[in-house]
Amino acid sequence: MIEVTGLTKRYGRKTAVDDVGFTVRPGLVTGFLGPNGAGKSTTLRVLLGLDRPDGGTALIDGRRYRDLRHPLRTVGALLDGAGPVPERRGVDHLTWMARSNRIPRRRVREVLELVGLADAAGGRVKGYSLGMRQRLGLAAALLGDPEILVLDEPVNGLDPDGIRRVRQLLRDHAAAGRTVLLSSHLMAEMAGTADHAIVITGGRIVADAPLDDISAGH
Ligand code: ADP
Ligand code: ADP
């Protein structure tokens, strides 16, 4: 479970996230929805330990990310700009991640199949399109077979096949009783994927309700 309480984050005089609180429950796909600059990435960065809050807490299973005993097995994350070294081959990046986290090597092949990157994984990351990088990032997020998925704009740059795969993965993950939080700036992307939506605008939560209720109000 993800629990964010009274979270505040400033950059200079700009308050990017202002007293934000929400809970993300297992068994559902939860959308984190808001326009560009709303504070979605900032919230997720703090949650994933990449940024420190000015106030409040963002906890995963009651702990800060850095205090998790098995981070990759607990939470799989996809965040902009957190990609592998460009000179690396996609498959080597995943193999290295698996080795350093005591994840069985066969899991690398499995996640590459899941995201549809098996054929391209032998190429260097610098030659990948945006969609291929996104698929590799998803494969990395899935590697530890994590209980929780946190994905920042996961369908960015994906073709229809990629979008279909991501949707199916998220639905399956939630159906297995696990937790899924995905951000998007497009309401339309949530339809048919998310069950629940948390809406953020100008650093503040403005709605937290079943998706059907929120889309009815639009
Ligand atoms: P979103 O992910 O919803 O598009 P962000 O969390 O990236 O929004 O940004 C929220 C606000 O914080 C924006 O006004 C953005 O310009 C600002 N911001 C985000 N990161 C930084 C940073 N590193 N330095 C300064 N301002 C930032
Ligand atoms: P530490 O002080 O333990 O070395 P950091 O430098 O990463 O940790 O964090 C600085 C401050 O931000 C600390 O007070 C820490 O408790 C707090 N902090 C960092 N991440 C979170 C989080 N996700 N939720 C609550 N507090 C956090």
Phi, psi of 97 (to 5 degrees): -60, -45
pLDDT > 90? residue 159: yes
CA 51 to centroid of ligand 2, rounded, Å: 9
To test the pocket of ligand 2, the residue of 52, 66, 74 to mutate (highest count of ligand atoms within 8 Å of its CB) is 52
pLDDT > 70? residue 94: yes
Mean pLDDT for the stretch of residues 110-119: 95
Q: Which residue has the higher pLDDT, 86 or 68?
A: 68
For residue 50, what is the DSSP state? S
CA 88 to centroid of ligand 1, rounded, Å: 29
Asked whether 52 lines ligand 2 (CB < 6 A), one says: yes
Report the chain's terminal Cα–Cα distance, integer Å. 28
| Model ipTM value | 0.87
Q: Which atom of ligand 2 has the smallest separation from the CA of 47? A: 23
Amino acid identity of residue 21, one-letter, is: G
Asked whether 218 lines ligand 1 (CB < 6 A), one says: no
In sequence order, the β-bridge partners of residue 204 are 201
Whole-number Å distance between alpha carbons of 188 and 4: 25
pLDDT of 192 reads 86
Ligand nearest to the CA of 198: 1
pLDDT of 117 reads 95
- Write down the pTM of the prediction: 0.93
Q: pLDDT tens, 102-113?
A: 999 999 999 999
Asked whether 60 lines ligand 2 (CB < 6 A), one says: no
Ligand nearest to the CA of 49: 2
Asked whether 42 lines ligand 1 (CB < 6 A), one says: yes
Tokens of 166: 């991501």
- Give rounded-to-5 percent helix, strand, coil for the chain: 35, 30, 35
Asked if 44 and 183 touch (Cβ cutoff 8 Å), the reply is yes
Asked whether 45 lines ligand 2 (CB < 6 A), one says: no
Whole-number Å distance between alpha carbons of 181 and 50: 17
SS3 label, residue 26:
coil
Q: CA nearest 214: which of 200, 197, 191, 192?
A: 197
Counting residues of the chain whose pLDDT is more than 70, the rounded percentage is 98
Mean pLDDT for the stretch of residues 172-193: 93
**Distance from CA of residue 101 to its chain's centroid?**
19
Whole-number Å distance between alpha carbons of 185 and 97: 30
Asked whether 198 lines ligand 1 (CB < 6 A), one says: no
Mean pLDDT for the stretch of residues 29-50: 96
**pLDDT-derived band at 217, boundaries 50, 70, 90:** low
Whole-number Å distance between alpha carbons of 171 and 174: 5
pLDDT of 82 reads 65
Triad 159, 164, 166: Cα angle to 5°: 95
**pLDDT-derived band at 13, boundaries 50, 70, 90:** very high
SS3 label, residue 137:
helix
Asked whether 20 lines ligand 2 (CB < 6 A), one says: no
Asked whether 57 lines ligand 2 (CB < 6 A), one says: yes
In sequence order, the β-bridge partners of residue 57 are 5
Mean pLDDT for the stretch of residues 50-67: 96
Tokens of 179: 């937790």
Mean pLDDT for the stretch of residues 187-205: 94
pLDDT of 80 reads 80
Asked whether 51 lines ligand 2 (CB < 6 A), one says: no
